[in-house]
Structure 1
Amino acid sequence: MAASPDLVVATLVANPLRPAVTGAVLTAAAGALGQETEQVVLASGIAADLILPAGGRTRAAIEAALRDALGDAPVDVIVQPLEGRRKRLFLADMDSTMIGQECIDELADFVGLKAEVSEITERAMRGEIAFEPALRERVSLLKNLPVKVVDEIIAHRISLMPGGSTLVRTMRKNGAYTCLVSGGFTLFTGPIAAKIGFHEHRSNRLIVEGEMLAGQVEEPILGREAKLATLVELRDRLGLSHGDTMAVGDGANDLAMLGEAGLGVAYHAKPAVAAAAHARIDHGDLTALLYAQGYTGKELLETDL
């Protein structure tokens, strides 16, 4: 089915470790959408496209019909226009998105304050308190922590989210520009961005005195508005359209960036973020963002570390 402005694609994605996009699931999903639905398997058991005319239905209505048909099946649903689904700019949050941890919480563990700091982090990510003052409060608790603990944390406590390196390197191979943009710290984003394969990284700078953290962060703080500004800046610099962009995150400080992207994806996100984003991934790993762009399993670079 050739792309046209009226065609939409609903991508069904399961976790690669738990393939659930079976023939029965596809049949039930296609049946919920109508006879004009074209089925395209992207990766057996893992991902498939359903392509159909919108027919006056909103993407939200199509997604709701699919979720109702799928019931409790562990399958994510991403609905978007078919035209322009392959993205040329990708921005990603780091903590709890590209990695499985919150770096500031791991730092706080070294001063015996992980529980207190984690509680502040959680409230900030849910949007209950403003990000910037919450970050200043947490950083102040790290005063006099040796900088060398960062290397230990990266080596022994940080785990990359499954599929992240494959996502970034596959997009880079196909001409996309990639940026890790975080409310965290350059001490972490530098080595983690390099390990995953991002073109660049942007985050906050912790003030260091001697070999110790000063308990302060350089101003202005990179938060919600700075993430949005980074997307707009890179999009304009690269001469791209709104639809050429994709962003992923899990917290409230990602919402402006996700809203501005052509496809904003909430990844295993807080409820308010998942409800507001264009798409949500609750079951799959980060390769789901490749299948959402129409990549097939054979096109994925198997480079995860």
Structure 2
Amino acid sequence: MNFTEPFVSIIIPTYKDWQRLSLCLDALSKQTFPGENFEVIVVNNDPEDAVPSFISLPENWQIIDEKKSGSYAARNKGLQLAKGPILGFTDSDCLPDKDWIYNAVHLFDEKKCDRIGGDIQIFYEDETSPTNAELYEKVFAFKQAETVNSIGACVTGNMFTKRDVFDKVGVFNDTLFSGGDYEWARRASEGGFNIEYGESVKIFHPARKTMQELVKKAKRVGGGTAHMLRGNKIAAIKDYLKTFEPDSYTLHMIKAYGNSLSTYQKFKVFFLRFYIRHTMNFEKLKVVFGKVANRA
């Protein structure tokens, strides 16, 4: 394959996460895709948090600031400077596989697709003794294949797209702190832009280790998706009450992705799922009734 074209722009939002960003950048520096054919744009979403001295960048990589809060505002800032006809997105806590960019470019060429949702592999801090939160993440976190194939969307922790998709459907909704990738994907699908799941387009993501981290994410997602109800309080109440209905999705996910778990661990994950759903839907209810959604 001839790599003189295309040029690829990688966009990474970061927020007070320099240590993990340094590992992400190190993984990007080891890509098999030629270094002169891609750039990396890191967007610091807290301009008052200065770039530490241990972060060093190649000549065609850069760190810019975006003071408007939210990862989608940060990604939009990166889009303004990106030069490539292919855009890749990941997060500062992710570790791209060495063939990440190469395989994405190859898949675009092979499938003639417009967007790619790449595989996200979860790993534990201690593989021999996962916490309850890590077990939950193993079953429910970042199931890109299901998301791509069922609703034509993917998370921006591992997404590639042609630049002309943004040119036609617009940028991310930067009023959102969560769910902006799905909202953008809906516009892309409605615009006729197809998506492929890229099993070989792989990144590695640490599982959230504590319940506090899971709860923070559930509240962020609940608050971030409240906009879809357009202020409809009755719909918000109905969504909250659905928390207490039987959940076939939970059983499906445990069956599909919990094969390595013991029966006891599966029960724990089942009840954790109920708690997380309750937290998420209750936060969505509160935001619809006037609470301000936050990024935490």
TM-score normalised by length of structure 2: 0.26
Between structures 1 and 2, the one with greater helix share: 2
